[in-house]
Amino acid sequence: MDDTVLRVEHITKRFAGHTAVEDLSLEVKKGGIFGLLGPNGAGKSTTIRMIMNIIMPDEGKIVVFGESSASRDLSHRIGYLPEERGLYPKMRVLDQLTFLGETKGISRSSARTKAGQWLGRLGLGDWSTKKVNDLSKGMQQKVQFIGALLHDPELVILDEPFSGLDPVNSQVMKDVVVEIARQGRTVLFSTHIMEQAEKMCDRIVIIARGKKVVDGSLADIKQEFGGRHVALTFTKNSDRAARVLQDKRLVRRVDDYGASAEVELAPGAEGDVLLGTLVREGVGLSRFEIVEASLQSIFIQKVGAEAASVPAREVVNA
Amino acid sequence: MHKIIAVIRREFIERVRTRAFMIGTLLGPVFFIAMAVIPGLLLSRGSAGRRVAVIDATTGDFGARVESALAAAKEGTGANAKAKYFPIRIQSAPSRVREVLDSLVPKTGLPEKESALDGILIVDESGVTTGKVSYFGVNVGSLEDMGQLRAALTPLMITERLRRSGVDPALALGATMPVDLETRKVSDGKLTGESGAATFGLAYAMGIILYMALVLYGTQVMVSIIEEKSNRIVEVLVSSLTPFQMMLGKVLGVGLVSLVQIATWATAATLLSKNQGRILGFFGVSGAGSGMGFSFPSMPTGLLIVFFVFFVLGFLLYSSAYAAIGAMCSTVQETQQAQMPIMMCTLVGWFSTFALLKDPTSSFAKIAGFIPPLAPFVIPVRYSLAPIPLSELLLSIGLTILGLLIVVWFASKIYRTGILMYGKRASFRDVLRWVSAS
């Protein structure tokens, strides 16, 4: 039995005047967390909306669960958190969730029970009879998140799930996502925050300007990207460190964050030479570690130049 | 099916829970009570007992007869009747009429003064032949008052002229007796017991109710679609519901609300008209005015069914069209222009009911009944005024259903694409493209 949950085959979507997604293919296997990464305006949301059958691709096709029917007809098996969050502002929280559950095809009573359990779990138990209007933005986002998970979907599609959340709520949502994946269900989420994707995803696809740039498991991508990388954290004299890192004999590329830096060693240069030079210059170090390239640096290198030149009108359709 | 019911239920419950619905539903009966009580109040306090000075410049006893005719005029009927005028006759030489008038005008129209006059009537010899009578008063703007005054004076004039030509006064009185037309409506071969005025009132009221309900609830459908668009809730809904399910659920949900509201109003109106005397008494209005007040004529079952069928058809037709407009626009302001065609249809529909009131059997009435956007207004009103052959009725229903299906088909096409369009309003060319795309 094929364990492919979602197969996107050569889809293209054009809007008036520009191409939002071009010849994009990807495959999501059952279980685990799949990251759809890309800068703003890359076409992530457009891709997700096509997967959700909200808009139709101009070319190519999308197969969900290996079935020929559209994902809307399979909506009882899919959970969806759109990028544009939306709830009925005057509806009570519990009624709202019950309704969302019903539109996914589960019975009214079980939707109500499940919604109550979820609200309790995410710390919103006291708010179930309040109107959505009375909730903070973060709480509303949690409510919408519950709406996407209420019917125990096999495939959960989250469009920028962590944007606009404070660290505490972000943590709560992350725990839920990880738990879903542990249960053997599949999560696909889009983000432009690489640290998050790096920590959570098994497999990623990076798209830029509507085209696929990187595709594979995180480990493979890092290995393929290669190079020897050093992660540094400074305690003092980081200005001197900056000078050292300009040395092209030692360093091929540097990503300087001020208090820390990620460095790709020049071909032939050794890590201990760099360490020796830094110590000699009197730079205080609390971390000097030979590491794999971070997703952030891979991302910047692969799409950086292109992302910087995204025409303004494309960003509108992000 | 389960999903559509969920949408209908949400739409219904959330709407019925709102304060606007509660207030609207309760205000209906308050409005009916006002309709029943206010005419009574106006009649019982307003025009009764006007003090009128009659300047009599006639040589014979015509002036005296005018005085006694005015004094005999009554407001209301039976034991509750009150004098309509308190006439005061002032003899005057024809040459001094002007002088007397000038002396009386300063005493007229002073509501604070008990003895003040409400009007001055001048009758003279030439008036008997030319029919010219002058009246100066506070109430000359009231068509009803002036009509009554004219009606009181006309037979006096006629008998006076006949008398002067040598006709026996008793004969003259008998000969000038006006026609008192008493009307009773016949429908389905039965006497309904309704007067012509009640039939007219019912037809007129139905026209207004249909117009208001279709525009009011149609607009509600439109506005709530725009709200869903601006809340971005459509994005979630459209991933699990088809646009057709969303539209149908919304239209039916709002439709149920409208039926509940109208049924509440109808029940209230019926109860009120049955207990009209008691309610009027509660407000201190004597039964005198009740005959002239609001009364809710009984609706024959046939008419009730026709009204219901066409209300439902009209509601579905118009609210689907409103739904399409809502899907095309992003803000309520934008809809002002886009809904013009629908507004025109409802207005034409409503205005054609006026033509029907004039002549329900005209060929215009017949043709309008076969035009789907007009039929929901025309048919119930026409049916209440004159019988419609069953075959014609069925044809009209059939054509309206056909029109409804076409509108729903168009609307769902527009809805499907429009609902995810944010920002600018779609032009009619865009809309045509959406419709032609499969």
| A72 closest CB neighbour out of B7, B13, B239 | B239
Q: A77 to chain B: nearest residue by CA?
A: B240
Mutation to test the B interface, candidates A71, A103, A140, A317, most B Cβ within 10 Å: A103
Mean pLDDT highest for which of A145-154, A280-289, B117-126? A145-154
For B334-348, the pLDDT digits (tens) are: 888 888 989 999 999
Mean pLDDT highest for which of A53-62, A182-191, B237-246, B294-303? A182-191
* pLDDT number for residue B293: 45
Mutation to test the A interface, candidates B239, B244, B245, B434, most A Cβ within 10 Å: B239
A197 pLDDT more than 90 = no
Q: Are A72 and B242 a contacting pair at CB < 8 A?
A: yes
* pLDDT number for residue B221: 92
A308 pLDDT more than 90 = no
Nearest residue to A75 via CA among B246, B240, B237, B5:
B240
Count Cβ atoms within 10 A of the Cβ of residue B158 and give its class: 0-12 exposed, 13-18 middle, 19 or more buried.
middle
Is the model more confident about B41 or about A318?
A: B41
| B2 closest CB neighbour out of A53, A95, A105 | A105
* pLDDT number for residue B43: 56
Count Cβ atoms within 10 A of the Cβ of residue A296 and give its class: 0-12 exposed, 13-18 middle, 19 or more buried.
middle
Structure tokens, B10:
């949400």
CA dist., res. A186 & res. B312, Å (int): 47
For the entire predicted model, the pTM comes to 0.74
Is the model more confident about B43 or about B119?
A: B119
First to last CA, chain A: 36
CA dist., res. A124 & res. A73, Å (int): 31
Mean pLDDT rounded to a whole number for chain B: 81
Q: Report the helix count and the strand count for chain A, using DSSP H and E.
A: 11, 13
* pLDDT number for residue A249: 85
Report chain A residues whose CB lies below 8 A from the CB of B238: 54, 72
Report chain A residues whose CB lies below 8 A from the CB of B235: 54, 82, 84, 86
Average pLDDT over residues B116-131: 84
Answer positive or negative: Cα dihedral of B135, B137, B142, B147: negative
The model's confidence at residue A293, banded by pLDDT at 50, 70 and 90, is confident
Report chain B residues whose CB lies below 8 A from the CB of A103: 3, 6-7, 237, 240-241
Is the model more confident about B436 or about B389?
A: B389
Mutation to test the A interface, candidates B233, B246, B429, most A Cβ within 10 Å: B233
CA dist., res. A317 & res. A313, Å (int): 8
CA dist., res. B342 & res. B346, Å (int): 6
B394 pLDDT more than 90 = yes
SS (H, E, C) chain A: CCCEEEEEEEEEEEECCEEEEEEEEEEEECCEEEEEECCCCCCHHHHHHHHCCCCCCCEEEEEECCECCCCCCCHHHEEEECCCCCCCCCCEHHHHHHHHHHHCCCCHHHHHHHHHHHHHHCCCHHHCCCEHHHCCHHHHHHHHHHHHHCCCCCEEEEECCCCCCCHHHHHHHHHHHHHHHHCCCEEEEEECCHHHHHHHCCEEEEEECCEEEEEEEHHHHHHHHCCCEEEEEEEECHHHHHHHHCCCCCEEEEEECCCEEEEEECCCCCHHHHHHHHHHCCCEEEEEEEECCCHHHHHHHHHHHHHHCCCHHHHCCC
Q: Are A86 and B239 a contacting pair at CB < 8 A?
A: no
Q: Are A87 and B231 a contacting pair at CB < 8 A?
A: yes
Report chain A residues whose CB lies below 8 A from the CB of B231: 86-89
Q: Are B234 and A86 a contacting pair at CB < 8 A?
A: yes
A7 pLDDT more than 60 = yes
The model's confidence at residue B284, banded by pLDDT at 50, 70 and 90, is low
Mean pLDDT rounded to a whole number for chain A: 86
Mean pLDDT highest for which of B81-95, B146-160, B211-225? B211-225
* pLDDT number for residue A262: 87
Q: B235 to chain A: nearest residue by CA?
A: A82
Expressed in percent and rounded to 5, the helix, strand and coil fractions of chain B are 70, 10, 25
| A102 closest CB neighbour out of B3, B233, B239 | B3
A159 pLDDT more than 60 = yes
* pLDDT number for residue B438: 52
Average pLDDT over residues B126-139: 84
Kindly report the nearest CA distance between residue B245 and chain A, in angstroms.
Answer: 10
Average pLDDT over residues A3-20: 87
Q: Are B2 and A87 a contacting pair at CB < 8 A?
A: no
A288 pLDDT more than 70 = yes
Q: Are B241 and A53 a contacting pair at CB < 8 A?
A: no
Helical residues (DSSP H) of B55-96, grouped into ranges: 62-72
* pLDDT number for residue B319: 93
CA dist., res. B318 & res. A299, Å (int): 53
B206 pLDDT more than 50 = yes
Average pLDDT over residues B310-325: 92
For A68-126, the pLDDT digits (tens) are: 777 778 888 999 999 888 899 889 999 999 999 999 989 999 999 999 999 999 889 89
Amino acid at A276: G
Classify residue B185 by its DSSP letter. -
Name every residue in B having a CB less than 8 A away from some CB of A: 2-3, 6-7, 10, 13-14, 18, 228, 231-242, 420
Report chain A residues whose CB lies below 8 A from the CB of B3: 102-103, 105
- The packing angle between helices B428-436 and B390-418, to 10°, is 100
At the topology level, CATH places domain B48-170 in: Rossmann fold (3.40.50)
CA dist., res. B252 & res. B9, Å (int): 9
Structure tokens, B336:
């002002």
Q: Which of B41-45, B196-200, B367-371 has the lowest mean pLDDT?
A: B41-45
For B48-64, the pLDDT digits (tens) are: 578 888 888 888 788 88
User: What is the ipTM, given to two decimal places?
Assistant: 0.78
* pLDDT number for residue B406: 92
* pLDDT number for residue B288: 43
- Nearest 5°: phi and psi at B145? -60, -45
Average pLDDT over residues A151-167: 89
* Alpha carbon distances (Å) from A240 to A236, A288, B153: 9, 16, 116
| A90 closest CB neighbour out of B14, B234, B237 | B14
Q: Are B14 and A88 a contacting pair at CB < 8 A?
A: yes
Domain with CATH 3.40.50 in chain B: 48-170
The model's confidence at residue B316, banded by pLDDT at 50, 70 and 90, is very high
- Nearest 5°: phi and psi at B17? -75, -15
B176 phi-psi bin (left φ>0, alpha ψ -120 to 50, beta other): alpha
Instruction: Please count the residue pairs, one from chain A and one from chain B, whose beta carbons lie less than 8 angstroms apart.
Output: 66
Is the model more confident about A202 or about B272?
A: A202
Kindly report the nearest CA distance between residue A269 and chain B, in angstroms.
Answer: 53
The model's confidence at residue B290, banded by pLDDT at 50, 70 and 90, is very low
Name every residue in A having a CB less than 8 A away from some CB of B: 52-55, 71-72, 75, 78, 80, 82, 84-91, 95, 99-100, 102-105, 108, 144, 147
A316 pLDDT more than 50 = no
Residues in Cβ contact with B22 at an 8 Å cutoff, skipping those fewer than 6 apart: none
Is the model more confident about A309 or about B386?
A: B386
Average pLDDT over residues B308-325: 92
| Cβ atoms B314, B346 nearer than 8 A | no
| A100 closest CB neighbour out of B228, B236, B420 | B236
* pLDDT number for residue B191: 65
* pLDDT number for residue B289: 43
pLDDT over 90 percentage in chain A: 32
Structure tokens, A25:
């293919």
- Nearest 5°: phi and psi at B391? -60, -40
Q: Are A52 and B239 a contacting pair at CB < 8 A?
A: yes
| Cβ atoms B329, B414 nearer than 8 A | no
Report chain B residues whose CB lies below 8 A from the CB of A102: 2-3, 6
Q: Are A90 and B242 a contacting pair at CB < 8 A?
A: no
Q: Are A99 and B10 a contacting pair at CB < 8 A?
A: yes
Please give the biggest Cα pair distance in chain B: 95
| A54 closest CB neighbour out of B14, B228, B235 | B235
